[in-house]
Copies of this chain bind each other. A is one copy, B any other.
Amino acid sequence: MDPINLKKLAEILNVSVSTVSKAFRDSYDISPETKSRILSLAKELNYQPNPYASGLRTQKSKTIAVIIPEIANNFFTQAIDGIESIAQEKNYHVLIYFTHEDYTKEVAFVQHLQHGRVDGVLISLSGDAKDRSHLDLLGHRDIPLVFFDRVDDHAKTTRVTTNDFESGYMATQHLVEQGCKKIAHLFFSKDLSIANHRMEGYLQSLHDHRLPVNEKLIVQCTANHVTNYGLIKNLLKQKHRPDGIFSSFEKLALLSFEACEELALNIPRDIKIISFSNIETAALLNPSLSTITQPAFEMGKEAASILFNALENNSVSIADQKVVLNSTLVKRKSTSRE
């Protein structure tokens, strides 16, 4: 079968290529009858104009980009599921980009995207840099941007997050209530505002429960899991090792489980663990893991809805606001008193 194109349609209908092209552009230069004849034949032959030609004409790509640190992470998997559910409904296409926590990649993606491949961008920041000025490039090109989870607090657009401070507070308070007195905190990157808010919640909770802050129990982890495993083992081998861990990053809790097994520490008897986590198998772990569970799917959906609303209204400016969806504390065996 020869591919159908404008020329072919023009031949069959005995009109000019320019007339066919005008039908697809919905031009007033041709009669409604001619337009209708052309469009119904195109439909019959299953022909749509080349989207690049169409993108050029309407300046709409019907495509958004989603920039995230990684996909092998249950939070991002579920958030993308939420984003995609809205994109399907709105007939938008979704490009995905993984920074692998590498700031230079984030900058390169954004620099490329400013040149018109997408109508809008959803981003969750990489963990390794303070400078966010590359994101201004999108604004200069009138490409709207919405943040989710790892947001820039100072960006003048919508930032969709969970209640990070309160969640950090709740998690720490839960460990206190279960009898912990030496509570460690594992976090990833001081350059992420959400990590800082979670830590502020931890510190406030210690303060409110009159527990001292011990710097040796606050561990900044990296993007490298081998390094992190070493850091966690060192924490657990300290003379005054913690009796509780609040992890603000799922993978760090799983590494803590492995380290406890290697060091023959019993969870929850010797140490109790709670973590930010969207892991599907939390209830099936040995022991089952107490979690702060983010509404990841809903956060993705919300961020996408806000972006698509702007696109549909041809609005390039997005409300400068923080949208907060609350996380849930789920108590399981890893923090039980036994």
- Interface presence of A306 (CB below 8 A): no
Assess whether B48 is in contact with A115, with CB atoms less than 8 Å apart: yes
Cβ contacts A76-104/B at 8 Å (1 or 0 each) = 01101100100010000111111000000
Q: Which residues of B contact A105 (CB under 8 A)?
A: 88
- Interface presence of A25 (CB below 8 A): no
Assess whether B96 is in contact with A94, with CB atoms less than 8 Å apart: yes
Cβ contacts A29-69/B at 8 Å (1 or 0 each) = 00000000000000000111111110110000101000000
The A interface, classified by DSSP as helix, strand, loop or mixed, is mixed
Among the 9-residue stretches A124-132, A154-162, A202-210, A282-290, the one with 4 or more Cβ atoms under 8 Å from chain B is A282-290
Q: Which residues of B contact A56 (CB under 8 A)?
A: 50, 52-53, 56
Assess whether A115 is in contact with B78, with CB atoms less than 8 Å apart: no
Residue of B51, B70, B258 touching A117 (CB-CB under 8 A): B51
Q: Which residues of B contact A3 (CB under 8 A)?
A: 140-142
- Interface presence of A295 (CB below 8 A): no
Name the residue of chain B whose CB is nearest to the CB of A288.
B286
CA–CA, A338 and B112, complex, Å: 57
Assess whether B77 is in contact with A81, with CB atoms less than 8 Å apart: no
Q: Closest 5 interchain pairs by CB?
A: A286-B286, A52-B55, A48-B115, A52-B56, A52-B52
* With A71-B71, A284-B286 already in contact, 14 other A-B pairs whose C-beta atoms are closer than 8 Å: A3-B140, A3-B141, A46-B111, A52-B55, A52-B61, A56-B56, A84-B98, A94-B96, A95-B95, A96-B96, A254-B280, A257-B284, A281-B285, A286-B286
